[in-house]
Chain A
Amino acid sequence: MSTPIYLDYAAATPLDERVFAVMQPYLAEKFYNPSAAYTAAREVRRDLDTARHELAVCIGGKRDEVILTAGATESVNLAFRGLLEPGDHVVIGATEHDAVRGIAGEYDVTFAASDNKGTITPSAVLTAISDKTKLVSITAADSELGTIQPLVKIAAVIADVRRDRVKRGVKTPLYFHSDASQAAGVIDLHVARLGVDLLTLNAAKCYGPKQVGLLWVASHLSLKPLIPGGGQERGLRSGTENVAGAVGFARALQIAIRNRHTDSEQIRGLRDTLQKALTTALPELVVNGSQKKRLPGHLNVSVDGLDAERVVFRLDSQGVQVATGAACAANKGTRSNVLIAIGASDSMADGSLRFSLGRQTTAVDIEQASTLIVEAIRHEASL
């Protein structure tokens, strides 16, 4: 078997070699603690500050508004724990990732419903908000369908609610957070244009290192610390800084944003080729999620009655790596909450496959993979 064809970029992206190159010195000779007093350490501190500045520039924020974390899950946890008191009311989208669902479950949570394409409409958010609501968290694009959410319009609705609260003398503040991990390098992440108060990003989803993320927090907000200790990251998240991670993350995000249009165009073209090949060969196959507002690399399909997990295993043995939202064993028997949220039946969820393409996906990959995918679905559907 030759090199596998990787079609699971939504789960993890390979580390870009340019990113790896800029990280290496900080894993070796520039190992210094950025808090130390001598010159070599001060240089590392300066490089860390530069990386933080570069990250801030990528999203239109200020350097001191960027909190570096160990990944998106931690960023989301910092946003919720930092802002909220026990019992506070939060609104999250019905298609949020477990990182958001997990921490939101510790508060009084209301889900903003999804339509059947995976879109959380501004009116669905408005319906879920009450006078008690303190935080709204809506992903920029979900990881399974890749449906891009109308964040700007949702932000406008939230601004209306705030004005209305002021008018009526309701004192509860209302904040807007978005987990944009899947969308880095795809949509415009300028925080002022998005209208968010907090933004989560993950290096591991944009060809950077794993266990590196950031939370951008608008400077007018004051958060409680998540990890007390030596006071790093403005005291919110102590622990000696991961300089290699920060430097790598900055480089990865810069590359993603610089190549945003060309990458997206190339990936979208290949994804559309794959979609066409599958829908042509398999008339019973349904494409899940919005086809208009969709991340360029995502293709989520269902075949009613198919055991998609079998297809995943079969393709794996043939060197094609894909994902499923099925009630799959590896996920401890839980069906995808995203597919449930768009109203998919159990048998449609169990028959769902997610293909996510990325920068290294080639036309040859797609040609070979589509043949094998069609063959695998036909084979397993016939059993």
Chain B
Amino acid sequence: MSRVYVGMSGGVDSSLTAALLKEQGHDVTGVYMKNWTQDLPGMRCPWADDLADAKRVAVQLEIPFKVYDFEKEYKQKVVDYMIDEYKAGRTPNPDIMCNQEVKFKLFLDAALEDGADMIATGHYAATRDGRLLQAADTNKDQTYFLYRVDRTALEKTLFPLGNYKKPHVRKLAEERGLVTAGKKDSQGICFVGSVGIKEFLSQYVTAEIGDIVEKESGHVVGEHDGAIYYTLGQRHGLSLGGGLPYYVVGKDMGKNIIYVSRNLSDESMWRKTLSLDHLHWIDGPPQEGEKLHVRLRHRGLLLPGVFSGSSLELEESERAVATGQSAVIYRGKECLGGGIVA
């Protein structure tokens, strides 16, 4: 059996992951990745409680426990990346970047350096010979967040929860008396938590008030508190009174203008052809003209389409696909990789 370093976040999933691996006879070490500790106005960062919970479980399982401090790297590679992307008017996904840069790079390297043969996490996903497969629990499947992980990393990764459904995971954790069995799942981006992305960004950028312009008429119909806070297709948060709702159909970051429309079928809201950049393939690109499926957001529908070159042709138009979002490509159960919508 191998020496496995398990990323333990203090949640039920990674707690059970460690427990299962130990039961399978592996030599397990728990590791808490200290990535982020900043409080936000109205939100205390729960890292210290999470770390304590992870450690409590490690003590319960009688396994060694370590803390890897990636705070500096996480800020640079995940948080700064996210802020820069928003500043550029795009809609990034920091969880994808966290997996690519921190969990399956820094954590993996540090664990191997410390003598691990493999790493494991509580992600709902599966691997087979370095390939990435969707989890049995299709509702929880997290391969969307994992498409930028390298094959060499996946070859050294175990996802023991890939065959379980979430309620079953809780039950197994309860049966084992794990102290985290009843802990609530974390919501959304971990460092943003419940306060929302706007409050988070406002700590780092000085947004200025700008015009909201109706696309069709060119009239100024209101003002916004910073174009950075608005995403394509967004309806809420625009303080415009009366009539049909307006939707964001475009932004001009340079001029700090938001374009809105009441026309739900506005062409800029719907895209059939997506140009992708920063492509990443786990085991080489798909074949030209091959019929595949694509997912444009976590837990989003699998949309049929064809990929060629760097362009993705969807069978049917899709609403509100923002630049910066990831398009993740699947062949059946297998996640092949994907790219970032340009």
- Interface on A for B, CB 8 Å cutoff? 307, 309-310, 313-314, 316-317, 328-333, 379-380, 383
Contacts and interface: CB of A to CB of B under 8 A. Distances in A.
B129 interface: no
Nearest to A316: B56
A332 B59 contact: no
Contacts of B64: 383
Nearest to B52: A329
Given A310-B55, A329-B51, 10 more contacts: A307-B65, A313-B56, A317-B60, A328-B52, A329-B49, A329-B52, A330-B48, A330-B49, A330-B52, A333-B48
A309 B65 CA distance: 11
A314 B49 CA distance: 17
B62 interface: yes
Contacts of A309: 52, 55
A316 B65 CA distance: 18
The A contact surface, by secondary structure, is helix
Interface string B56-83: 1011101011000000000000000000
A329 B59 contact: no
7 contacts: A310-B59, A310-B65, A313-B55, A316-B56, A329-B55, A379-B62, A383-B62
Interface in B20-68: 48-49, 51-52, 55-56, 58-60, 62, 64-65
B59 A314 contact: yes
Contacts of B60: 313, 317
B37 to A, nearest CB: 8
Contacts of A383: 62, 64
Nearest to B69: A333
A331 B55 CA distance: 14
Contacts of B55: 309-310, 313, 329
A329 B48 contact: yes
B277 to A, nearest CB: 40
Nearest to A376: B59
The B contact surface, by secondary structure, is helix
Contacts of A331: 48
Nearest to A307: B65
Contacts of A307: 65
A96 to B, nearest CB: 23
A316 B58 CA distance: 14
Task: Name the 6 nearest CB pairs between A and B, nearest first.
Answer: A329-B52, A329-B51, A313-B59, A313-B56, A329-B48, A332-B48
Interface in B102-144: none
A50 to B, nearest CB: 42
A310 B49 CA distance: 14
Contacts of A328: 52
Contacts of B62: 379, 383
Contacts of A317: 59-60
B99 to A, nearest CB: 24
A180 to B, nearest CB: 30
A383 B52 CA distance: 18
B48 to A, nearest CB: 5
Contacts of A316: 56
Contacts of A330: 48-49, 52
A332 B45 CA distance: 11
Nearest to B65: A310
Choose among A314, A329, A330 the residue with the greatest number of B CB atoms under 10 Å from its CB. Answer: A329
A379 B64 CA distance: 12
B264 to A, nearest CB: 49
A163 B153 CA distance: 74
A310 B66 CA distance: 11
B178 to A, nearest CB: 11
A331 B62 CA distance: 23
A253 B48 CA distance: 36
B67 to A, nearest CB: 9
A383 B60 CA distance: 13
A332 B51 CA distance: 10
Contacts of A310: 55, 58-59, 65
Nearest to B34: A333
A314 B56 CA distance: 8
Nearest to A333: B48
Contacts of B48: 329-333
B69 to A, nearest CB: 10
Nearest to B56: A313
